[in-house]
Every structure is written in structure tokens, then in C-alpha cells.
Amino acid sequence: MSDNLLLKQIHVIDPKNHVDARLDVAIQNGIVTEIKKEILNSSGKVIDGKKLHLLPGLIDMHVHFREPGFEQKETIVTGSKAAIGGGFVAAVTMPNTHPPCDHQSVIDNIIRKANEVPFYIFPAATMTKGRSGKELSEMADLKRAGARAVTDDGDWVSDSLLMRRAMEYASMLDLLVVSHAEDKRLSGKGVMNEGVHSTELGLHGIPNASEVVAVNRDILLAELTGARLHVTHISTKGACEAIQAAKKKGIQVTADVTPHHLSLTDQAIADYDTNFKMNPPLRSEDDRKAILEALANGTIDAIATDHAPHTDEEKMMEFQDAPVGVTGVETALGVVLTELYHKQVLDLANIAAKMSLRPAELLKLPKGFGEIQIGSEANLTLVDVNLEWVVKRDEFISKSKNSCFIGKTLRGKAVGTICKGKLWEKQF
Amino acid sequence: MPSVWKRKDLVGLKDLTAEEIQLLLDTAKSLQQVSLRPVKKVPTLRGRTVANLFFEPSTRTRISFELAEKRLSADTIQFTGSNSSAVKGENLKDTVRNIEALKVDLIVMRHFSSGAPHRLAQSLPVSVVNAGDGINEHPTQALLDMFTIREKKGTLSGIQVAFVGDILHSRVARSNIWGLTKLGAKVTVCAPKTLLPAGIETFGVRVTSSLEEAIRDADVINLLRIQTERQDECYFPSIREYANNYQINSEILKRAKPDVLIMHPGPVNRGIELSSEVMDGPYSVILDQVTNGLAVRMAVLYLLSGTRRGGRKVNGS
Amino acid sequence: MTQNKQIMNSDEMDRAITRIAHEILEKNKGTHQMVLVGIHTGGAILAKQFQEKIKNIESREVPLGSLDITLYRDDLSEIGPQPNIGETEIEFDVSGKTIVLVDDVLFTGRTVRCALDALIDLGRPRTIQLAVLIDRGHRELPIKPDFVGKNIPTAKEEEVVVVFGENESSNCVLIQRKDV
């Protein structure tokens, strides 16, 4: 099933090995066999790379593929295919499934189904049993099954003692502790960012403090326990500041941001469109600017989608009752290139770092992820940075269509993904 | 040049122009006389059907709308939904589509979720009137408040209106702020800091937590109901402390203007936000509000019934 | 292009109004229990003129009211945005009265039908009589005026306009014809 491929004169971007040049890349039997100025004799399909960039395969540190339990929203197969369509070769699924990912059999099942696509899934396991915030999950067992990170995702562990123990235990196993930092009591009945716009729309607000309080506690516990803390989908200026300060102090903390938080603000929620309801909520322009700065100065390590599919029926509910979350794997690269590359916030090497290299490092993935290396399995993303396209509801591969970018024109797109050595292409 | 009503729906005062609000108030003025005649009914909406969909319990607003519809000779149907969306099983759009399939011309809707009428208005061809959505807007209440002030004070321009009470959860306050500021009134909101919404100071209103400051130069004091059941959410220490600091009684009114008007959207917690002697006293126009509500709702129904999208096909003359 | 043709000047209008005032008094043998109600807006102006004429003749002021029939129209669903509602000012009890209903132009009869309904909702008059300045024909309802200033045969697409100018000498009646 692997292809022999020759990518001719493609612009290779590999921040790990400091490559930024137009080269020929040969792939034989799914392995990168040669990278050089010009490859003359090669078998298999030849792709003209003159208009393209080649990035190490993108890795999404935060997705919800909903299986097991919520297959009406997404399955491992549909989610994986959507991710490949968006240029990803690997993803970390969140454990809020049913049953939750707190047992090795759930992990086995997810990885097996992903292999059939083929696609790489590195499931995050729960930090506490049943994500109930009461007892630690069997992390050693979960790690053996393939988990590289633990988290209770949407349910922040508010019990500080339990969080301390979880972080100590996870650090012993060198598992990444992923935190959806949110003090739920402060969020209250909130459904969007607290501020002028929530008052204007008559919707309950979630203050920035709900995130910032939680980020700061987690940082203090990371300092205490020495655990590797990764704060996911940060949305506030306060969180950026806290993480920057913690990094300066040498605390092991990293962070990611979603494409929607770096590109949109709470002003977008006109007309009570539930495709703009997510958690954390879209914040103010002030916060968004802080996020762009944190991306540029390295405070934010990664960009992850928080791909959260929901059915039309669910999103058809009234704003206050509709579930939170938006899809993201298919629009992520387009949004990032439009908002960061074309607006000169990050160059392509930095984008490759945030969407591939750093995730691979944080998750301690094997050789060949996050870089383009001779002898490694080909996991690569082919990008046309100038391709303009309109996000259309009918064109999503994902089972769900709840995107906040429908109708937007984006500039830049993954036009092909090579995952496990197999080429998926759409528009050559 | 008198303005013309072109909107299909009335979901809030936020999007209306000053002229549109004036037209609503002027139309209400013309319709006031219908209720003063021996035959309190005109045939204007004969043959039209209005559905009153109340997903949240309401007595006053529902009765007022129902009577307004009857005075205009519309046929009405009533629907009272569950208070909890979790148990209703059917989504709002389906519920309303079912009712629309009965060929109603106009929907009056109260809903516990902010924005519900807005979403519905976009997706249905029939006219939608918001009779209160979540904590967002209650446009007809604000219109009747403004109508009452205009009737008693002759104008809205330059009139000082103070809102006292739970501003945070008040759709009445929000609609009034949109409407009053557009017509040139000066609005003050007064509440303990815990009951003031974020960024309210950017809405062109004066914000204070001091009752005395709020009422000193007020021409109108509009009181908002305190939800006593919200106490467990830590908004204020006790009903007693709230009443001690924010109750309008004859003592505190000595510090207000001698011709101040006292308004309240009802139902009143007697002895909490308002003392009985003030409620029943000469300053109170609370019952005028109820009467005027009828004319205002008739005006809304009248104007909207002329702008149904798509219209109906009529043969000949 | 709109073509105007004058069919009555201000003197002719005034004479017609004077004559009708006399006829009203003659038919009712005076002003006993009589009230005038003009239909908003042209009829209301005309009714005021009748009131003045009657005062000159009888030295008695007949009560005057004006009636807005918007809420009684049968074509509201057909005409697009709702028309603004004018003021109905009838400050007297109509029960037992002889109402002289006044309008400027009688055409299909539908406006008069609305006015009759509106008046009856206000009480139970003893009798209602109809006075119009112009009867242009084309009735769609069985309505007949008791007093007419002038009968004018018209085509259906023509429009008859009674102009009440700034001073009485600029009053006139026009026929407008829109060229296609």
C-alpha cells in the first residue's frame, strides 16, 4: 500500500534539521530514502513541487474523535480522514469518550482503528478514574498501552491535593500532564467571554480569571512536583503572562492555542450562532493580541485544534444549551497560514515547529515525527501556501460540520498528506 | 414625514432606530382609545392567527398579549412549554415548525434562552415578537415603560431614569437601556456591584451602587425584581441587607424629586425592593404600566402584521 | 407623467358646500341631536366647513368629530407596510344621535363601510346619513349618499383629488390621469 514517490523541486521546511531549501525528496516503500538537490533516477510517481512546500507531518495535540460512545458526532475513521485532509499525520485524542479512556482496552481499540486508516493516534488517557476527579487512573498501565499524556480535559481537577498526586505520579512515568485550565465555579453559567459583548447579547459571561486562576495553580503544582505541565487551548492574556513567567523561572510548562483563539474574538458571536460557542470562549482583541505575541516569542509552543465535532441537531439548540466546541482539523492549517504566515507573525519554520516539531517533542514521539529524516517513515505534509479557498460546509470530511470558519476565504492549504508512507492527495 | 414599519420581527430594541421606536409609541398612542370604548375591539387582525409560545412561565405578559390580540380580533393559540430544555426532547425549531404548519401568521415567544427568538426569526417566514428571552431583552416591556414615561412627563428627551435592582439578570433593564438612550433619556443603573453586568458603563449609562446617588435627580425610578432564590449564588448577603440598602420607601423618597415616578415591571416583592406605602402611593404608576402594556402590544402586533415576509396572495381588488 | 384636469374651482366648491348644508338642515328639520363626523383626513376638513356653514345659517354649533378608519380597513393584508393610524376624536356619545358622516370623495364605498362599522362600535346612533363632495361612481358595495356636491363620471384608473389649499381660494377638485 505504500507508494514510491519523487517530490521534485519542493521547498523543504524542517526546523529541527534547519533545512529551508528547494530539494528533491524520494520516498521508497514508505521510507524517505533521499533528500538532495536533484534526484535523477527514481521509480514511482513524480510530483512537481515547484509551487509547494514540504513540512514535517502535522501533529494535532488536541482532538475529540468521539469514539467510543459518541459515534454520531465522529468516529476514529472519519476523524482521522478529516485530519489527513487537513494535513495531519498524527493526533492526540482526548479521553472524554464513553467509556472514558481510563482503561488500556479503550486505548488499544482507538489505536487499532487508527491503524486501519492508516493514521497515527496517540490517545491521552484520563488522569483520574472515570474523569471524576476522585481517584488516580492506572497511569502505568495506560502508558504501557500507548498513552503519552494524561488529562481530564474538560473537567479541570479542582482538588489541589489530587492534582498534586497526579502530577507527581505522572512525572514518575514521564507522562505529559495536559490541563484544560478552568475554574468551573468561576465560569458559572457562562456561555461566552464576559465583557461588553456578553452584556450586549444578554448571555452569561466567563471571566478571564476562570482560566488564569487555574493556570496559576497548575504552574505552582508543576513547580512543586516537577511534572511536565502542558496547558492546552489557552485563551487569555493572563495565561500567556503566567506561562511566560513560569518558563523564565525554569518550570516545565508548555502551552498550545487553537486556530480560532488566535484568529477570532467574542465580537464574532453575532446572531447567537452556536458555531461560535466553545470552551474556552473566544476572548477579547486584547487577549488575541497577547496570544499572537506569545506565539511569536515562544511562550506558546504549539497550535492544536481542539477539534470538537457535534451534530447539527445538537448545535441547533439555543445558544445557552448547545454543546461547546467547533471542528478544526480541516481548517487549522489554512487559518494558521492566513493569520500567521501571510500576516507575518510566524515564518514557515516556526509554523512547522508549532504544528509538528514541538508537539513531537512534548509527546516524546519516536524518530521521524516532527522532522524530515532519511531512513524514517514518511510522515509529511505538502502545502500550497498561496492557494485561496473558501471553507464550505458541504466539503468537510468530518462527520460534523460545526465550524466557525464556514464562508471564510483562507489562503494556504495542505494539498497532500503522506501518512505512514501513503500519499493522500486532493489537488495536484 | 412619518416613518414606515418595515421589519418582519420585533426581537429587541437593540437594533431599532429612534424613529422606529417613536413610530411604535405613536401607534400605541392611537390604539389606546380602543380600550376606552364600549366595544373594546377593532377588526384589524380579523382572520389572522397569533401563536403565543411561552417556554417560560409568565402570567402578566401572556395575559397582556392575549388581550391585545383579542382587541385586534386575531385568533390566538396558546402553548406553554417546559421550563427545562433537557426534558423537552424536541428542539425549538421543530416545535415552532409544527406550530407554523398550522398556518399561524405571527408568533409571540418567551424563552428562557437568550437569542432564541432571534434564531427563530431568521429561520421562519412568520413574524416573531420577543416576549422576553433569557437575560437579554424584553422589548414590549421597555416600550410600555417608555410609553408611560412619555405620557406622564410629556417627553423622553433629557428625562433621568434610574434602574434599581438586579441589573445583571434583567432583560427589562437591557431593553430599556437600548431604547431610552436612543430617545435621549439619561439612564442610571444602580445595584450592588455583584448584580451589575460586565462593561455596562460603556452603554452610555451612569453606574452607581449608591441608591441615594441614583435617585437624587431621577425623574423616574424603575425598580427591578430581586430574585430571592438567587441567594445561593452569593450575589448579596441577605434579603434583609439588600432591603436595608436598596429598598425604595417613603423615607428615601424624601431625597428624590417631588414629582418622581415609581415604576416596576412586576411582580413586586412588597417590602423588599419596594415598600407597600410607596407602591400604593401617589408616585406609583405601576398600574398605568399594565394598562399601557396593552396599547403597546397592540401597536407591535398591528405594525408587524403588515410586513409578513412573502405576504399572502390576494386575487382581484 | 400625470395629467391634472380641474373640475371644480374654489367658488364652485363653496357653493356646493353651502347647498349641502342647507339640504342637511332641510332634511333633518334643524340641528336637533345632530353631530358631524368627518373621515380622516379630507372628510374631517370638509366636516369642519359644514359646521361653519350650519352655524352661519342656524346660529348653532353642531358637535364635530373626526374618524380614522385604518383599523377597520379590509385591505390591510394587501397593501404592504401598515399605514400610520390617525387620531379618532369623537368627544361625544354617539348613541341616539343623528350622525352626518362626511367624506370628500365617494368611490368604491369601502371606506364608508369601514366608517359605519367604526361608528357602530362607538355606540348606537339613531341614524347615520352620508354627505360627500364628489360621487365618482364605481361602487363595490350597496352604499348611496344622502347628500352629494357633484356627480362626476370617471374612468376607474383615474384619481379624484380634493385639494384643500392654504387659503380657501386655492381649494379645488382635480382629476388626475396617469399616462402609461
Grid cell for residue B160: 433621568
Task: Please compute the mean of the pLDDT values over residues A119-146 and round it to a whole number.
Answer: 96
> pLDDT for A78-97, tens place per residue?
999 999 999 999 999 999 99
Task: Please compute the mean of the pLDDT values over residues C7-28 and round it to a whole number.
Answer: 95
**Residue C40 belongs to a domain:** yes
Task: Please compute the mean of the pLDDT values over residues C171-178 and round it to a whole number.
Answer: 88
Beta bridge pairs of residue A121 = A91
Neighbours, chain A (3 or more CB pairs < 8 A)? B
- Is B61 annotated as catalytic? yes
Distance CA C140, CA A260 (A): 65
Distance CA A150, CA A166 (A): 9
pLDDT, chain A, mean = 96
Residue C179 has pLDDT above 90, yes or no: no
Ramachandran region, residue B158 (left: φ > 0; alpha: ψ -120 to 50; beta: rest): left
> pLDDT for A182-225, tens place per residue?
999 999 999 999 999 999 999 999 999 999 999 999 999 999 99
Domain count, chain C: 1
Domain count, chain A: 1
**Residue C5 belongs to a domain:** no
| CA triple A95-A97-A102, angle to 5 deg | 50
The C-alpha cell 416600550 sits at: B143
CB contact under 8 A, C77 and B312: yes
CA A332 from centre of chain? 9
Ramachandran region, residue A272 (left: φ > 0; alpha: ψ -120 to 50; beta: rest): left
Fold topology of B18-137+291-304: Rossmann fold (3.40.50)
pLDDT, chain C, mean = 92
Check residues A154 and A349 and name the one with the higher pLDDT.
A349
**Residue A12 belongs to a domain:** no
CATH of the domain at C150: 3.40.50.2020
CB B170 within 8 A of CB B135: yes
> If contacts are CB pairs under 8 Å, which of residues 120-139 in chain C contact chain B?
120-123
**Residue A22 belongs to a domain:** no
CB contact under 8 A, C85 and B30: yes
Superfamily for domain range B139-289: Aspartate/ornithine carbamoyltransferase (3.40.50.1370)
CATH of the domain at A138: 3.20.20.140
**Residue C21 belongs to a domain:** yes
Pick C82's closest partner by Cβ from B33, B37, B306.
B306
pLDDT at B79: 85
The C-alpha cell 471571566 sits at: A207
**Residue A29 belongs to a domain:** no
Taken as a whole, chain B contains a residue count of 317
Task: Please compute the mean of the pLDDT values over residues C128-146 and round it to a whole number.
Answer: 96
pLDDT at C77: 67
Task: Please compute the mean of the pLDDT values over residues C54-69 and round it to a whole number.
Answer: 95
pLDDT at A41: 77
pLDDT at B303: 95
Grid cell for residue A169: 505520579
Distance CA C163, CA B90 (A): 60
Distance from CA of A410 to the nearest CA of B (A): 27
The answer to whether B18-137+291-304 and B139-289 have equal CATH topology is yes
CB contact under 8 A, B198 and A202: no
The C-alpha cell 430617545 sits at: B183
pLDDT at B317: 29
Candidates B34, B32, B50, B15; CA nearest to B129 is: B50
Question: Is A272 an interface residue toward B (CB < 8 Å)?
Answer: yes
Kindly give the confidence (pLDDT) of every residue in chain B, 317 residues in length, as a single tens digit, with 9 standing for 90 and above: 457 899 999 999 999 999 999 999 999 999 998 888 888 999 999 999 999 999 888 889 999 999 999 999 999 998 887 654 444 556 777 777 787 788 899 999 999 999 999 998 988 889 999 999 999 999 999 999 999 999 999 999 999 999 999 999 999 999 999 999 999 999 999 999 999 999 999 999 999 999 999 999 999 999 999 987 666 678 988 899 999 999 999 999 999 999 999 999 989 999 999 999 999 999 999 999 999 999 999 999 999 998 654 444 333 32
Pick C81's closest partner by Cβ from B4, B33, B314.
B4
Task: Spot the catalytic one: A14, A152, A301, A306.
Answer: A306
Q: What is the pTM of this model?
A: 0.90
Q: Which residues contact B254 (CB under 8 A, 6 or more apart)?
A: none
**Residue A314 belongs to a domain:** yes
What residue in B sits closest to A196 (Cα-Cα)?
Answer: B199
Pick C78's closest partner by Cβ from B5, B48, B314.
B314
The C-alpha cell 383599523 sits at: C71
Candidates A91, A143, A97, A98; CA nearest to A117 is: A91
pLDDT at A233: 98
- Is A306 annotated as catalytic? yes
Beta strands per DSSP E along C29-171: 34-39, 64-67, 98-106, 127-135, 147-151, 159-163
| Peptide linkage before A281 cis (omega within 30 of 0) | no
Collapse the DSSP code of A62 into the 3-class scheme (helix H, G, I; strand E, B; otherwise coil) and give the result.
Answer: strand
- Residue C61 CB: number of other CB atoms within 10 A? 11
pLDDT at A19: 97
Find the DSSP H helices in B131-223.
Answer: 139-153, 171-182, 211-216
Taken as a whole, chain A contains a residue count of 428
Within 13 A of A136's CA, how many CA atoms are on the CB side? 17
Q: What number of C-beta contacts closer than 8 Å exist between A and B? A: 73
Pick C121's closest partner by Cβ from B39, B302, B314.
B39
Q: What number of C-beta contacts closer than 8 Å exist between B and C? A: 64
Phi, psi of B163 (to 5 degrees): -105, 125
Question: Is A192 an interface residue toward B (CB < 8 Å)?
Answer: no
Provide the residue range defining the domain that includes C24. Answer: 10-70+93-154
Provide the residue range defining the domain that includes A172. Answer: 57-362
**Residue C171 belongs to a domain:** no
